Amino acid sequence: SYLIQESFNTIGATIILLIDEYADVTLSNPGEGSTIVQNVFDLLLFIVTYPQSSITLTRALGAVCLADDRFAVILFVETCGENLQHWNKVVIILLNSAEFSVRSVAVDLFVTLVGEVFDEYGCIDSFTFFILKKLHE
């Protein structure tokens, strides 16, 4: 359990470095860049969905916020298209976390995503459709 948590912490730190160093490069190569962004978000989704400590979840959610900030919401929606429902489900679950640190970062992520979707598309219909589909569960 400890080894898995430390592995996820290391992977999360590596992803943050990757995002900081290569965001401009991936955005300049649209085809190749979207593949890297999709892989980053898929890996972060796996880390966030795996049950672990609040510290690891906070770091992983922080990496998601950083990736969303650096890559923009358009790439998030495009690359996470098939996983967008799962992302919404995970964020809604983490909004109800017992740990304040996890809850506060999840709120930041949720508000950022909804705000950026509204700024980019002019409405949040497509995003809220996925949220409303998951709330009944």
d(CA 33, CA 20): 14
- Tell which wins on pLDDT, 74 or 111: 111
Contact 113, 64 (CB under 8 A): no
pTM of the model: 0.78
Does the pLDDT value for residue 104 go beyond 90?
Answer: yes
Q: pLDDT digit string (tens) for 54-100?
A: 888 888 888 888 888 887 777 777 777 777 778 888 888 888 888 99
- Tell which wins on pLDDT, 21 or 65: 65
Confidence band (pLDDT; 50, 70, 90) for 103?
very high
**Which residue spans within 33-134 are E strands per DSSP?**
none
Place of tokens 């998951």: 134
C-alpha distances in angstroms, 24 versus 78, 79, 89?
18, 17, 30
Confidence band (pLDDT; 50, 70, 90) for 42?
confident
Token representation of residue 51:
């049950």
Does the pLDDT value for residue 132 go beyond 70?
Answer: no
d(CA 11, CA 43): 9
